Structure 1
Amino acid sequence: MLKIAGVAAGAAGTGTALAAAPASAAGSAFAHPGMLHTRADLARMAAKVKAGAQPYTAGFAKLTANAHAQSTWKANPQATVYRGSGSPENYRTLYNDIHAAYQNALRWHVSGDTAHADTARDILNAWSAKLTKLEGSADRFLASGLYGYQFANAAELIRGYDGFELARFQQMMLDVFHPLSEDFLANHNGAYITNYWANWDLTNIASVLAIGILCDDRAKVNRAVDYFRHGEGMGSVKNAIPVVYDDGLAEWVEAGRDQGHALLGVGLMGTICEMAWNQGIDLYGYDDSRFLKGAQYVAKWSMGGDVPFTAYTRKKGAPGIWSGTETASAAAAVDPAMARPIWAMVAGHYTKRRGLDAQYLTRIAARFAPEGGGGDYGPNSGGYDQLGFGTLAFTRPRATTAEATASPTPSTTASGASPAGGASAAASATPSSSSSPLGGRSGDLAATGSSDLPAWTAATGVAALAGGLLLLRRRGQARRDAGE
Structure 2
Amino acid sequence: MTAQISRRTMLKIAGAAAGAAGAGTAVAAAPASAASGVFAHPGMLHTQADLARMAAKVKAGAQPYTAGFAKLTANRHAQSTWTANPQATVYRGSGTPENYATLYNDIHAAYQNALRWHITGHTAHADTARDILNAWSAKLTRLDGSADRFLASGLYGYQFANAAELIRGHGGFELARFQKMMLNVFHPLSEDFLANHNGAYISNYWANWDLTNIASVLAIGILCDDRTKVDRAVAYFKHGAGMGSIKNAIPVVYSDGLAEWAEAGRDQGHALLGVGLMGTICEMAWNQGIDLYGYDDSRFLKGAQYVAKWSLGADVPYTPYTRKKGAPGIWSGTETASAAAAVDPAMARPIWAMIANHYTKRRGLDAQYLTRIAARFAPEGGGGDYGPNSGGYDQLGFGTLAFTRGRATTAGTTASPTPSTTGSDASGSGVASAAPSSSASPLGGRSGDLAATGSSDLPAWTAATGVAALAGGLLLLRRRGQARRDSGQ
TM range (shorter): 0.7 to 0.9
Tell whether the 8 Å contact from 1:92 to 1:381 is kept in structure 2 after alignment. yes
The equivalent position to 1:137 in structure 2, one of 126, 141, 146, is 146
The aligned counterpart of 2:485 is 480
Tell whether the 8 Å contact from 2:80 to 2:124 is kept in structure 1 after alignment. yes
Cα–Cα, structure 1 residues 45 and 167, in superposed 2: closer, same or farther, change >3 Å?
Answer: same
Once the two structures are TM-superposed, the CA of residue 17 in structure 1 deviates from its matched residue by 18
Tell me the alpha carbon deviations over residues 85-130 of structure 1, each in whole angstroms, 9 at most, x when there is no partner: 1101000000000000000000000000000000000000000000
Cα–Cα, structure 1 residues 465 and 403, in superposed 2: closer, same or farther, change >3 Å?
Answer: closer
CA distance in 2, matches of 1:20, 1:471: 38
Tell whether the 8 Å contact from 1:33 to 1:415 is kept in structure 2 after alignment. no
The aligned counterpart of 1:448 is 453
Cα–Cα, structure 1 residues 121 and 4, in superposed 2: closer, same or farther, change >3 Å?
Answer: farther
The percentage of counterpart residues that share the same residue type is 90
Once the two structures are TM-superposed, the CA of residue 388 in structure 1 deviates from its matched residue by 0.1
CA distance in 1, matches of 2:473, 2:192: 18
Tell whether the 8 Å contact from 2:257 to 2:302 is kept in structure 1 after alignment. yes
The equivalent position to 1:89 in structure 2, one of 86, 90, 98, is 98
The SS at the match of 1:81 is strand
Once the two structures are TM-superposed, the CA of residue 452 in structure 1 deviates from its matched residue by 3.2
* Runs (4+) off by over 4 Å: 1-24, 412-418, 423-451, 456-484
The SS at the match of 2:325 is strand
Once the two structures are TM-superposed, the CA of residue 71 in structure 1 deviates from its matched residue by 0.1
Tell me the alpha carbon deviations over residues 293-350 of structure 1, each in whole angstroms, 9 at most, x when there is no partner: 0000000000100101100111100001100011111100000000100000000100
CA distance in 1, matches of 2:32, 2:451: 35
Cα–Cα, structure 1 residues 223 and 115, in superposed 2: closer, same or farther, change >3 Å?
Answer: same
Once the two structures are TM-superposed, the CA of residue 404 in structure 1 deviates from its matched residue by 1.0
CA distance in 2, matches of 1:475, 1:411: 19
The SS at the match of 1:134 is strand
Which piece of structure 1 moves more, 392-401 or 405-414?
Answer: 405-414
Long gaps (5+) in structure 1: none
Cα–Cα, structure 1 residues 334 and 424, in superposed 2: closer, same or farther, change >3 Å?
Answer: farther
Cα–Cα, structure 1 residues 410 and 460, in superposed 2: closer, same or farther, change >3 Å?
Answer: closer
Cα–Cα, structure 1 residues 245 and 116, in superposed 2: closer, same or farther, change >3 Å?
Answer: same
Once the two structures are TM-superposed, the CA of residue 169 in structure 1 deviates from its matched residue by 0.2
Q: Does 1:283 align with 2:292?
A: yes
CA distance in 2, matches of 1:47, 1:467: 15
Cα–Cα, structure 1 residues 462 and 162, in superposed 2: closer, same or farther, change >3 Å?
Answer: closer
Cα–Cα, structure 1 residues 483 and 306, in superposed 2: closer, same or farther, change >3 Å?
Answer: farther
Which piece of structure 1 moves more, 312-321 or 468-477?
Answer: 468-477
Cα–Cα, structure 1 residues 468 and 221, in superposed 2: closer, same or farther, change >3 Å?
Answer: farther
The aligned counterpart of 1:166 is 175
Once the two structures are TM-superposed, the CA of residue 29 in structure 1 deviates from its matched residue by 1.2
The SS at the match of 1:316 is strand
Cα–Cα, structure 1 residues 10 and 201, in superposed 2: closer, same or farther, change >3 Å?
Answer: closer
Tell whether the 8 Å contact from 2:204 to 2:325 is kept in structure 1 after alignment. yes
How many residues are aligned here?
Answer: 480
Q: TM-score, normalising length from structure 1?
A: 0.83
Once the two structures are TM-superposed, the CA of residue 18 in structure 1 deviates from its matched residue by 19
Cα–Cα, structure 1 residues 441 and 87, in superposed 2: closer, same or farther, change >3 Å?
Answer: closer
Tell whether the 8 Å contact from 1:318 to 1:470 is kept in structure 2 after alignment. no
The SS at the match of 1:7 is helix
CA distance in 2, matches of 1:235, 1:100: 28
Cα–Cα, structure 1 residues 447 and 474, in superposed 2: closer, same or farther, change >3 Å?
Answer: farther
Q: TM-score, normalising length from structure 2?
A: 0.82
Q: Does 1:57 align with 2:66?
A: yes
After superposition, the CA RMSD in angstroms is 15.5
Tell whether the 8 Å contact from 1:228 to 1:236 is kept in structure 2 after alignment. yes
Once the two structures are TM-superposed, the CA of residue 10 in structure 1 deviates from its matched residue by 39
CA distance in 2, matches of 1:10, 1:356: 13
Once the two structures are TM-superposed, the CA of residue 2 in structure 1 deviates from its matched residue by 55
CA distance in 2, matches of 1:358, 1:334: 20
Cα–Cα, structure 1 residues 164 and 249, in superposed 2: closer, same or farther, change >3 Å?
Answer: same
Cα–Cα, structure 1 residues 11 and 434, in superposed 2: closer, same or farther, change >3 Å?
Answer: closer
CA distance in 2, matches of 1:6, 1:426: 35
Cα–Cα, structure 1 residues 82 and 8, in superposed 2: closer, same or farther, change >3 Å?
Answer: farther
Once the two structures are TM-superposed, the CA of residue 469 in structure 1 deviates from its matched residue by 58
The equivalent position to 1:183 in structure 2, one of 180, 192, 197, is 192
Q: Does 1:363 align with 2:372?
A: yes
More helix by share: 2
Cα–Cα, structure 1 residues 259 and 346, in superposed 2: closer, same or farther, change >3 Å?
Answer: same
Cα–Cα, structure 1 residues 125 and 323, in superposed 2: closer, same or farther, change >3 Å?
Answer: same
The SS at the match of 1:5 is helix
Once the two structures are TM-superposed, the CA of residue 7 in structure 1 deviates from its matched residue by 45
Once the two structures are TM-superposed, the CA of residue 407 in structure 1 deviates from its matched residue by 4.1
Which piece of structure 1 moves more, 456-465 or 68-77?
Answer: 456-465
Long gaps (5+) in structure 2: 1-9
- The 5-angstrom pairing of residues 49-448 of structure 1 reads 49-412=58-421
Once the two structures are TM-superposed, the CA of residue 406 in structure 1 deviates from its matched residue by 2.6
Once the two structures are TM-superposed, the CA of residue 447 in structure 1 deviates from its matched residue by 8.3
CA distance in 2, matches of 1:470, 1:324: 58
The SS at the match of 1:451 is helix
CA distance in 2, matches of 1:449, 1:45: 36
CA distance in 1, matches of 2:409, 2:130: 38
Which piece of structure 1 moves more, 22-31 or 182-191?
Answer: 22-31
Cα–Cα, structure 1 residues 204 and 479, in superposed 2: closer, same or farther, change >3 Å?
Answer: farther
Tell me the alpha carbon deviations over residues 11-52 of structure 1, each in whole angstroms, 9 at most, x when there is no partner: 999999999999973634100000000000000000000000
CA distance in 1, matches of 2:468, 2:100: 16
CA distance in 2, matches of 1:67, 1:4: 49
Tell me the alpha carbon deviations over residues 222-247 of structure 1, each in whole angstroms, 9 at most, x when there is no partner: 00000000000000000000000000
Cα–Cα, structure 1 residues 437 and 371, in superposed 2: closer, same or farther, change >3 Å?
Answer: closer
